Structure 1
Amino acid sequence: MADERIEVRRTVPATPEAIFAVLRDPQGHVEIDSSGMLQDATGEPVTAAGDTFVVHMDRESLGDLPMGRYDVEVTIRDLEPDREISWTILGTIRPAIGHVYGYRLEPDGDGGTVVTSYYDWSGINDEWRAKKVFPIISEQALKATLGILERTVRRRAASASRG
């Protein structure tokens, strides 16, 4: 449903491989977060659907709910190296909410990559649908994250070239 999904795009002047390296890394998620909620992460870079890692959150950054600090488990739903990654989140809230975040990567033909970030809550649990609190993350926040992603990829590449 179009009203239950946000997609934003940005062309990033980097290869899909360089971008995917950030997106499969739990610390990469923290680095590119524009909401301020992701404080840290524990786990190894993911390699397959079903892989998990933990993100240490601080909902006070949004200022909408007094949830304070808590952890969520990120479970990779789709993973096609250098093409797509998506995940769901399980936190302290039960039943699981059921929203999905993800990225699709498409080479632009000029050495860059068109990155599509999406946030889909069309499959959320009916209990959450009735609360009418979605979307929690705005379209502007997704756009900001893509800008931070570009900066992060550029900085990682510069750091790697320095040795």
Structure 2
Amino acid sequence: MIDDTPQAERIEVTRTIPAPPVAVFAVLRDPQGHVDIDSSGMLQDATGEPVSAAGDEFVVHMDREALGDVPMSRYDVTVTIRELVPDEAISWTILGRVRPPIGHVYGYTLAPVEGGTLVTSYCDWSQIHPEWRERDIFPIISAQALKATLGILERTVRRRAG
């Protein structure tokens, strides 16, 4: 399911991954897991330990040239976990070079289903700073890119299990 209507302030995509929630969550709480599953090509590397609670942080080394939309080149962002429920949900915000902070949220929810885990990936910009709302820059990542990330997530979970 993809919701990318122009008025939406949140994009969600879903996919059933043939693995238990604990295996999927292991990738999502690992900073390097974020790099491994990125479909945009912007995430180059990460520094930090797997997260275990809201407030935990790690650094992602980015390359915006992968999108070719703005001349930001290489830079770092700090990922701050907003919600973490083991094997059920994880969400985060990003603090990078731009000010004021944008305030958008990325996340995943996991639900056990027959044959694996129903994974929902989302980007929510409903609470972004008014300055960024006026610039009308969202969504930065398309619903198709989020969907592609879910395919890469399935492959990554399978490879880590094997």
User: Which of 37, 42, 46 is 1:37 aligned to?
Assistant: 42
Distance apart, 1:66 and its partner CA: 0.5
Could you report, residue by residue, the CA deviation over 1:103-150 in whole angstroms, capped at 9, with x for unpaired residues?
000000x24000000100011000000001110000000000000000
Identity of aligned residues (%): 77
Question: Any gaps of 5 or more consecutive residues in structure 2?
Answer: 1-6
Q: Distance in 2 between matches of 1:14 and 1:62?
A: 31
Look up the equivalent residue of 1:88 and give its one-letter code.
Answer: T
User: TM-score by structure 2 length?
Assistant: 0.95
Q: Normalized against structure 1, the TM-score is what?
A: 0.95
Higher helix share: 1
1:103 paired residue among 91, 105, 108: 108
SS of residue in 1 equivalent to 2:77 = strand
Alignment of 1:24 with 2:29, yes or no, is yes
Distance, in Å, in 2 between the alignment partners of 1:107 and 1:3 is 27
Query: Is it true that 1:146 corresponds to 2:138 in the alignment?
Result: no
Report runs of 4+ in structure 1 exceeding 6 Å deviation. Answer: none
Gaps of 5+ in 1: 159-163
Match of 1:90 among 82, 89, 95: 95
Question: Which letter maps to 2:75?
Answer: Y
Correspondent of 2:62 among 53, 57, 66: 57
Helix, strand or coil at the partner of 1:35:
coil
| Cα distance in 2 for residues equivalent to 1:41 and 1:145 | 17
Q: Please name the residue that 1:130 is paired with.
A: 134
User: How many residues were matched structurally?
Assistant: 157
AA aligned opposite 1:120? D
Deviations 1:25-80 (Å, cap 9, x if unpaired)? Answer: 00000000000000000000000000000000000000100000000000000000
